[in-house]
Amino acid sequence: MSRESAIGHYNIQRLNKENLPDVEKLFTAVYDKQAAPCFFAKKYNTAFTGVEYTGFIAYNDDQPVAFYAVIPCFLLVNNEPILAAQSADTMTHPDHRNKGLFIELALTTFLLCQELNIRVLFGFPNQNSLPGFVKKLGWTVTDTMDCFIIHTGSFSWKRALNKLPVLKKFAFDHQKNTIKRRMAEDQRLENSVFKDGCDGVYRDDAYFKYKTYNDTFLIKAAGSISWVKTSGALLVGDIKIQADDFDDMIYELKKLANKLGLRQIHFHASPGTTLHSLFAMRFNSIPSFPVIFKLLGEELPLDKIKFTSADIDTF
């Protein structure tokens, strides 16, 4: 699918296997760093849903200058899996900003989603992007997630080692081996919001195989299973837990973070869920991601759809 843009001399092409390297090229131009090898190829290969490469690239003289795409997935709504998609990467080359490219690419993507029978879009924009989604593209804000930050008291030796290239691999290998010793046998976790009578992202085996575009791990912590990712902090995606085990789990996660050289544990959750309540009873929170939706068909009970960190595409 290719066409001329309505806002200037731009060529609009649907994302596909052949032009994925152009997304990497644009990423480098926008962020001045390289994406991990095959990152975008894995992220936008959502064949497990029946649709894939759901987005568009804008070109100027054969150079990629803007990109917008969504990630198809399934939401379980009233115990029925429905095809949905998460709003994901938005990039515009510095030389081509403020020319309406984001809006055009987004509207073109929404039309494609309707053709693919995607029934609803959802997203977690930052505060800079939020006004554009709401005022110009007609998205609705339904909620705001909270972020709980737990300080471990550890000196961040990981950050110190990362500044020394010769020791960076040592730090990476140490983290990997430390997490391996705690890996759970079952590398799959049901969405915790379902136990609260809420709707949310449906995770089956195919979904977990897809999510390997980021390095995440299911680990044992006390009597619980936690889905985690290491970056600047120990990011907890979701948890399978009994309420009585919560304090022991936090103690174990703090010990793990210390061994990994991470000074903080982060967890994002929608209010109205058990995990949010358990964290809120013990830790302060700050507002994090606004939750936004755009319906592409019939009405759905959006207020019942809840999320955790694991549902955000950066996890």
> Among candidates 190, 189, 201, which has minimal Cα distance to 77?
201
DSSP 239-292: EE--GGGHHHHHHHHHHHHHHHT--EEEEEE-TTSHHHHHHHTTS-EEEEEEEE
- Does residue 245 lie in a domain region? yes
Give the pLDDT score at 91: 96
Which tops the pLDDT comparison, 162 or 193? 193
How many domains, the chain? 2
Do both 278 and 173 map to the same domain?
Answer: yes
pLDDT reported for residue 233: 94
**Tell me, what's the pLDDT at 157?**
52
Residue 171 pLDDT > 90:
no
Instruction: For residues 104 and 151, state if they share a domain.
Output: no
Cα torsion 9, 15, 19, 24 to 10°: value is 90
Percentage of the chain exceeding pLDDT 70: 92
The pair of structure tokens assigned to 19 is 């032009």
Proportion of the chain above pLDDT 90, given as a percent: 81
Residue 83 lies in a domain: yes
**Full domain range(s) for residue 252:** 146-288
Average model confidence (pLDDT) across the chain: 92
Query: Which residue shows structure tokens 């890996």?
Result: 183
Model pLDDT for residues 218-239, shown as the tens digit of each residue? 999 998 999 999 988 999 999 9
Q: What pLDDT is attached to residue 2?
A: 67
Give the pLDDT confidence score for residue 227 in this predicted structure.
Answer: 98
pTM to 2 decimal places:
0.91
pLDDT at 177 (0 to 100): 82
> For the domain that residue 15 is a member of, what is the CATH number?
3.40.630.30
Is 264 found in the same domain as 178?
Answer: yes
Tell me: do 197 and 86 sit in the same domain: no
178-184: average pLDDT = 88
Do 17 and 106 belong to one domain? yes
Q: Given pLDDT bands bounded at 50, 70 and 90, which one contains residue 54? A: very high
Q: Please tell me whether residues 188 and 90 are part of one structural domain.
A: no
Q: How would residue 162 be classed by pLDDT, with cut points 50, 70 and 90?
A: low
Q: Is residue 130 part of a domain?
A: no
Query: Do 162 and 281 sit in the same domain of this protein?
Result: yes
Say whether both 105 and 162 belong to one domain. Answer: no
38, two tokens: 């095959």
Question: Does 296 map to a domain?
Answer: no
pLDDT of residue 81: 97
pLDDT at 153: 79
- More confident: 127 or 159: 127
Which of 118, 134, 164 terminates a domain? The answer is 118
- Based on the fold, state whether residues 7 and 96 are members of the same structural domain: yes
Q: Does residue 185 have a pLDDT over 90?
A: no
23-53, pLDDT tens digit by residue?
999 999 999 999 999 999 999 999 999 999 9
pLDDT on residue 166: 63
Q: Are residues 22 and 95 in the same domain?
A: yes
Please say if the pLDDT value at position 243 is more than 90: no
* pLDDT surpassing 80 at residue 214: yes
Whether residues 275 and 163 fall in one domain: yes
DSSP conformation letters of the chain: -EEE-TTSS-EEEE--TTTHHHHHHHHHHHHSSPPPTTHHHHHT--GGGT---EEEEEEETTEEEEEEEEEEEEEEETTEEEEEEEEEEEEE-GGGTTSSHHHHHHHHHHHHHHHTT--EEEE---TTTHHIIIIIT--EEEEEEEEEEEE-----HHHHHHTSHHHHHHHHHHHHHHHHTTB-S------GGGGGT-BEE---HHHHHHGGGS--EEEEETTEEEEEEESSSEEEEEEE--GGGHHHHHHHHHHHHHHHT--EEEEEE-TTSHHHHHHHTTS-EEEEEEEEEEESSS---GGGB--BGGGSTT-
pLDDT at residue 131 greater than cutoff 80:
yes
Give the pLDDT band (50/70/90) at residue 269: very high
* Cα–Cα distance measured from residue 37 to residue 42, given in angstroms and rounded to the nearest whole number: 10
Res 274 pLDDT > 70: yes
Is there a single domain that holds both residue 158 and residue 102? no
